[in-house]
Structure formats: structure tokens, C-alpha cells
Amino acid sequence: MSRTLVLVRHGQSEWNLKNLFTGWRDVDLTEQGHAEAKAAGQKLKARGVKFDIAFTSALIRAQKTCQHILDAVGQSDLKTIRDQALNERDYGDLSGLNKDDARKKWGEEQVHVWRRSYDVSPPAGESLKDTGARVWPYYLHDLQPHVLRGGTVLVAAHGNSLRALIMALDGKSGEEIVKLELGTGVPVIYELNADSTVASKEVLDD
């Protein structure tokens, strides 16, 4: 029985390109981002992947990535659940700011701590730990049951919401997970055992 979970970070967004903190701001994909999402779909099509259900966030950059992938594998009308539980980490007062401007305002060291620590949150925002506190219960309650029934599930989401999932799936520490770089539009394929542990993991980053 196949128990497959496919994680994909959205393609490049307009604010990724402009070096802005995005968080929960609803920003579209760039041309490159659309191309990355379509390429992810083609990689999965080449593997013969067919999904039983798809999950994405409440944000358009993830939703469009999800749709490009489903279009590529010939499943444009597949049932897709959109939920803010899968949204990017909320950067609070940093949202919409240029990262260089934020460093000038708060200092390079402080901004680095906010970006790359596990449990320190920016003003009015979330830490990665906070993000995991909403993502992981949602995974356990809503996503995992589909996988354990033998399904193939697509999750198109964001760098930090996916880091939170990968941290739990891979058994990584907070210190380890903040160092993980997730490429835009790169599929990560997990096969799970019947007891929900990871049987295998493959990153299609060629």
C-alpha cells in the first residue's frame, strides 16, 4: 500500500523577488514562480504521481502553485482543501518591510535572531515554534489520516509551515530545522509506514 505525502514550497513570489518579509500578506507569484510550480508538476507527472486530495494555505501564492501542479498531472479538478493553518509564519511588524531596512531599524543581529531562531518571535508575529503549534495538529487531524489510508496527498505551502512539518516527520531539533533550506517549487516526497513513521524521503531538486 502506498502512503505518500508530497510537500512543495510555493514558487518564487513577488515579495521574495523584492527581498521583503511576506508572512501572511497575500502576494502573487512572479513569472519565475509560475514556471517553478509548473516544473514541479512536470517532475511529479514524470513519476506517474496521481493525488487523492490536495491541501494548501489560504494564500494565493501557495494556491496557484497547487493548481499548477494539479494541472500538470492532469488532475485540475481534484478536491483541494485551503486552510490558514498551513499559512506561512506570521512575521508581524516585519511584514512588508525590506529585509535590509529591517536590519537598519532593529540591527542585523536582532533580525537574524528573529529569522533564524526556533522560538523567538518578531514583534506581533510568530516564531517557527508558534508556526509548528498550528501546523502539526492540523497535519495529524486533517492530512495524516488520508495518507495512512493509502492515499497520495499533496501539500503546497510555505517555507516555514513546511519546515514545521519536516521537523516533526524527520525528528529534527529546533536548532537543526532553522538551518534547513527549502527551495521554491521543489517537491519533497515522503513514503510513510502504517504506524505513521517515515519509510523513505526523496527531494526532487535535480
Residues comprising the binding site?
9-16, 22-23, 61, 88-91, 99, 115-116, 159-160
Please list, in sequence order, all residues whose beta carbon lies within 8 angstroms of the beta carbon of residue 10, skipping any fewer than 6 positions away. 29, 33, 37, 59, 61, 62, 64, 65, 156, 157, 158, 184, 185
Q: Which residue has the cell 501539500?
A: 155
- What is the DSSP track for 188-200? EEEEE-TTS-EEE
Chain-centre distance of CA 2, in angstroms?
22
Q: Which residues are annotated as a binding site for substrate?
A: 9-16, 22-23, 61, 88-91, 99, 115-116, 159-160
- For β-strands 53-56 and 80-82, DSSP reports them as parallel
Q: Point out the residues that are catalytic.
A: 10, 88
3-state secondary structure (DSSP) of residue 146:
helix
DSSP states of 10-60 as a string?
A: PPPBHHHHTTB--TTS---B-HHHHHHHHHHHHHHHHTT---SEEEE-SSH
